[in-house]
Every structure is written in C-alpha cells, then in structure tokens.
Amino acid sequence: MDRINGLPALGFGTFGRKGEDGIETMRLALETGYRHLDTAQMYENEEEVGEALRRSGLLRGEVWLTTKINMPNFAPGKLVPSLEESLEKLGVDEVDLTLIHWPSPNDEYELETYMTQIAEAKEKGLTRHIGVSNFTIALIDQSIGLLGEGALATNQVELHPYLQNRKLAEHCKSKDIAVTCYQPLAKGTVSDDPKLVEIADKHGATAPQVALAWELAQGFVTIPTTSNADRVAENFGALNVTLDDDDMAAIGELDRGQRRIDPDTAPDWD
C-alpha cells in the first residue's frame, strides 16, 4: 500500500466504533488489509482500538495508529499527560501520529500553547509524528513558524467530491504536509451520485470506491469508516480502481463547497 509522509494511504476511521461491535469491526478491517487506524480522545474508543489491534494478531509495527488531542487538553501542562493516558488506553508505548483535533475554539488557548506541547510529546517519544486537523492556511503557516518546516506530517480535513478544498490542499502540498481526508464519502451520499455511478460502472466498481480512488489518485490519505462488514471490504477495494484523466476531470466538476462538519467553534474556513 502506498504511503504519504509515512501514513498508509488508505486507513480506517474509527469514529462511532465502540463496544464489542466496534472492536470486531476494527478487527475485521485489519483482517481485510487496512494497516492504519485513526482514533481520537474525543471518540472515547481508544481502548476498543487497542483491543482490536491485539485481537488481530498483527505486530504493533504493522499497524499505523493515529490519535488526536481533545481541546480541553490544550491547557498548559495537560497535553502530554493526556497523551500518556491515551497510550495506556491503547496499550502501546507510542503512537505513530498525534494530531491537534481542532484549533482552540474561539482562541481560548493561544496556538503556541498547544503546538509547543505537541512538539514536546514527540520529543518525549510518545508519538513518532505530529500533525493537525481542521487547520486553515493561516494556522498551518503560523504552526510552521512556531515549529519549523517539516514538523507537521499531515492536516486532516473534510474533503470529498462535494468539498474539494483545493486551495488548502495545494497549500499543504506546497509545504510537504500530507492531506488526510475525513468524511471521504460525504456521509455516504456519494453512493447515489449519477456521475460517480457512471464512472463506477465503467470500471466495474462502486461509487464509493470511485470517490476513494479519486482521493488516492491525488496523493491524499483517506480514512473511510463503516460498521457494515461488506462495506469494510468494498472500501478497501478502492485500491484496485484506477481512474483516467476524464474520470478525474468529471469528478472535479462535482465540487459544491458542501461542508458537512461545521460546528460553531470552527475556524474561519479558507
């Protein structure tokens, strides 16, 4: 599987995967071939992610683990202990990647307060890489100013055929920061899109596979999630779909600027 800044390009999102059913779904994802599990303190399922990894029988080094720091843990002196707690819940000595989940809502904490703490977590060996999520171009540039070029592995943002986020994605690419797409299937709405279905029929694929293949073809990391066993395998099959230039251009025309995750505390989007 291709890697982008070290991250396996196709990952499995774990939001909503909780309890015994969640553990088994994540274990199935690993059995299917996924080697990247994306969780967060906010998801309250780090224990389940760790248990799924143990049940899989895979070695720790075979699976990339990402977690994200919750906003209350941005306070001075709180981020590192919160990540240590996450490691305990996951049952690992370090994670591969730790992200700032959202910029501090309403600037409750200054950017320097939490970005220097996440850099400290890396220095302490709690995480191999660090990055951000839901950061704008301005926040990316400010973070680079604080931590230096090359410090950030990725910016995880909402990105799918209906919200292509081109300006931000190009800026991240110019800074050698991988783009990780969350909501890559636009909450499943891509399944019935006539253009995506047409392209899927052409390739003997499904519309969700086409959407994921479109993201992968641009060098993005993508992390779909599902609780449906058949869809776990279906999404993984996107790795076998190769789109041509006409397909890519047609999907490019689907951009509507249609954002699905937009809380009141979100930053001023690009």
pLDDT tens digits for 150-179? 999 999 999 999 999 999 999 999 999 999
Rg (the chain; Cα; Å): 18
182 in active site: no
pLDDT at 92 over 80: yes
C-alpha to C-alpha distance for 23 and 169, rounded to whole angstroms = 32
Whether the CB-CB separation of 67 and 37 falls below 8 Å is answered with no
Neighbours of 23 (CB within 10 A): 21
pLDDT tens digits for 52-79? 999 999 999 999 999 999 999 999 999 9
Q: How confident is the model at residue 93 (pLDDT cuts 50, 70, 90)?
A: very high
What domains does the chain contain, in order, with CATH numbers?
3-185+217-226 (3.20.20.100)
Q: Is 101 known as a binding-site position?
A: yes
Whether the CB-CB separation of 181 and 11 falls below 8 Å is answered with no
pLDDT tens digits for 197-227? 999 999 999 999 999 999 999 999 999 999 9
Whether the CB-CB separation of 32 and 11 falls below 8 Å is answered with no
Which residues does residue 61 pair with via DSSP β-bridges, in sequence order?
none
Q: What is the mean pLDDT of the chain?
A: 98
How high is the pLDDT of residue 1? 75
pLDDT tens digits for 252-262? 999 999 999 99
How high is the pLDDT of residue 231? 98
Structure tokens at 224: 């779909």
Which residue in 34, 43, 109, 162 is the catalytic one? Answer: 43
CA dihedral sign of residues 246, 216, 267, 171: negative
Q: Is 224 left (phi over 0), alpha (psi -120 to 50) or beta?
A: beta
Q: Which percentage of the chain shows pLDDT scores above 70? A: 100
pLDDT tens digits for 173-196? 999 999 999 999 999 999 999 999
How high is the pLDDT of residue 33? 98
How high is the pLDDT of residue 150? 97
Q: How confident is the model at residue 23 (pLDDT cuts 50, 70, 90)?
A: very high
Cα 29 to Cα 173, 196, 236, distances in angstroms: 29, 24, 9
Q: What is the mean pLDDT of residues 84-110?
A: 97
| Strand ranges inside the chain, DSSP E | 3-4, 7-8, 12-13, 36-38, 64-69, 95-100, 127-133, 152-158, 178-182, 221-222
> What letter does residue 187 receive in the DSSP assignment?
G
Cα 243 to Cα 27, 204, 205, 220, distances in angstroms: 29, 12, 11, 15
Q: 166-174 and 137-147 are packed helices; what angle lies between their axes, rounded to 10 degrees?
A: 20
